[in-house]
Amino acid sequence: MKMKIRTIITLGAVIAAVVITSCSKYPGFKKSESGIFYKYYVESEDTTTVKEGSILTMNLKYRLRIADKDSVLFNSADMPKAFEISQAKSEFKGDIYEAFGMLHKGDSATFIINANDFFTKTAKYPQLPAGIDSTTVIYFDVKLLNVETMEQRQKAETAKAEKFKSEEPAKIQAYIAKNKVTAAPSATGVYVITQNPGSGRSIAKADFVKINLTVSSIEGKKIFSTLDQNKPITFEYGKPFDTKGFDEAIATMKKGSKATVVVPSAMGFGEQGKKDMNGQDIITPFSPVVYDIEVLDLKTKAENDKAIKDEEAAKKKAAAEAEAKEPSLIQQYIKDNKITAKPTASGLYFIEKVAGKGAKAKAGNKVKVHYTGKLLNGKVFDSSLDRKPATPFEFTIGQGQVIPGWDEGIAMMSAGGKATLLIPSKLGYGAQGAGNDIPAYSPLVFEVELLSISAK
């Protein structure tokens, strides 16, 4: 196949791509003058080139290949949107930025570069990850979707924001008409649509207000709700909370009040909107939001402080009772399930169901495990088998990445083995418990299957 020869513009310098077609040690790959091995799958006719400062939007995966096995370090397919990066100045010949500079918009390619250089020079790791040496290479699979200058990006963002701004009044009116809202807007444009006026006292400054809250887009897409996990929010009235529109609306409510509140962007998230950690819009610029608010309780500061102390005291009492009962609960479980295994010195019960083959796992090994975790009453709190698709859990033994009962128990197994681990709380989550599902001093039962063992 005849390959197009291109000018690679990267970091203000022009690098001629010299194709080596006869001696690549990676079949199907060619080699640039600076030592980058590359293979194009799609070479677009688009002439848009990558320059320093360009904003690159791409599908990106990078992986190590050790002992003929791929180990994926990053895959943008796992992210909610395509990966974006600003093209930086190349730090050394043959680095990943030079590789990106070999692309045109629409190209799809794989690049192979030295992993040692990538981790120490580009990623600035203080030391190489385990298993990587000076001969290890890293594969970058890239599909370049778009190339923009900063000016082009800002222009596009401004145009998008102006579009949202022009559409906002019609969106609010459409909501008002669809939901037959008769309430008049406040001077700031906030609509408070009351379903229940409440019968309690009005909210006063420094009150601690307990609410159920659902936040939605004006089109009805739910963004957040305390009802999903049955966890109301408590906040101190008088301090900013979420948006100015929310603050204005809550000031009109009482204990027991329930209302839907329509907040225009000027009293909401404005021209910035709101983004998640990945830079994806949660609320687009100039978008109104809808709050569904129910005021469950009001407390003065003194009442709230007392309630916190009472709750802490109740937790301590419950924890002390659980700690005292734990030994008898474990013994009853052993009796009920006819367990004959003896505890280890630490108190772990290891009940082998299927013996594995080969050497046992040891500290420093990376393992893959399927598991189901239960309380002694049989309630399942987590399982790798319930994920869609079922996804094994991976960790390194002896690194403190899991509870002590797991580090000890999995190290008693060989690949292919299955076992039940009865773990006392001191080897589990102890006096703290874990979330809402695992109370303090809870012994745990794990059904585990050790799928594989490998050197880290």
Point out the residues that are catalytic.
371, 381-382, 403, 429, 446
Question: What are the DSSP calls for 108-175, one per residue?
Answer: EEEEEEEHHHIIIIIS--SSPPTT--TT-EEEEEEEEEEEE-HHHHHHHHHHHHHHHHHHHHHHHHHH
Question: Taking CA 352 as the corner, what is the angle to CA 426 and CA 325, rounded to the nearest 5 degrees?
Answer: 30
The H-or-E segment that residue 453 falls in is strand 444-455
Instruction: Look up residue 201 and give its DSSP letter.
Output: P
Q: Cβ neighbours of residue 450 under 8 Å, at least 6 residues apart? A: 356, 361, 367, 368, 369, 410, 413, 414, 415, 416, 417, 418
Chain centroid, CA 187 distance in Å: 40
The H-or-E segment that residue 335 falls in is helix 301-336
The answer to whether the CB of 263 falls within 8 A of the CB of 249 is yes
Alpha carbons within 13 angstroms on the beta-carbon side of residue 280 total: 7
Cα–Cα distance measured from residue 199 to residue 216, given in angstroms and rounded to the nearest whole number: 27
Q: What is the dihedral of CA 328, 330, 335, 339, to 10 degrees?
A: -150
The two structure tokens encoding residue 287: 């978008």
Cα–Cα distance measured from residue 87 to residue 35, given in angstroms and rounded to the nearest whole number: 20
Cα–Cα distance measured from residue 262 to residue 366, given in angstroms and rounded to the nearest whole number: 52
Among 219, 294, 228, 204, which residue's Cα sits nearest to residue 257?
294
Cα–Cα distance measured from residue 384 to residue 447, given in angstroms and rounded to the nearest whole number: 11
Give the three-state DSSP class for 427: helix
What secondary structure, in 3-state letters, does 248-304 show? HHHCCCECCCEEEEEECHHHCCCCCCEECCCCCEEECCCCCEEEEEEEEEEECHHHH
Q: Cβ neighbours of residue 307 under 8 Å, at least 6 residues apart? A: 299
